[in-house]
Amino acid sequence: MGTGALCVIMGNSGFFYWYPLIYYPFLFSGELFQWWLPYLSEKFARSKANFDYDALFSRTTKLIPHTPGKRTPDANHVVLHLMTVVTIVLVYIDRLG
């Protein structure tokens, strides 16, 4: 994530021009795979069953309905994922627009 700050400081040259275009979609794909696919899909929920969700996230605030046996993104992760999407849109507008 520190390289993102270097992209702002160093400007649009070479590596720093292309880095955000590759990094942020890759980051968002990881967020989708770890949080949203287990929430939306029974098959992925079963494959992620070894994760002790209840011990780690049972006391967190949920913005979306919690389904027992499924990993439900808490409010912190929902906001983080929304901010990642906004960052992706802004980076693509800035770099390609």
> Sign of torsion, CA 10 23 34 31?
positive
Q: What is the pTM of this model?
A: 0.81
d(CA 39, CA 69): 9
Residue type, 61: T
pLDDT in tens, 34-64: 889 888 888 877 776 656 777 788 888 999 9
Provide the domain limits for residue 36. Answer: 2-96
Confidence of residue 10 (pLDDT cuts 50, 70, 90): confident
Please compute, for residue 57, the number of CA atoms within 13 A of its CA located in the half-sphere on the CB side. Answer: 18
CB 8 within 8 A of CB 91: no
**What total number of domains does the chain contain?**
1
| Tally of CB atoms within 10 A around 59 | 8
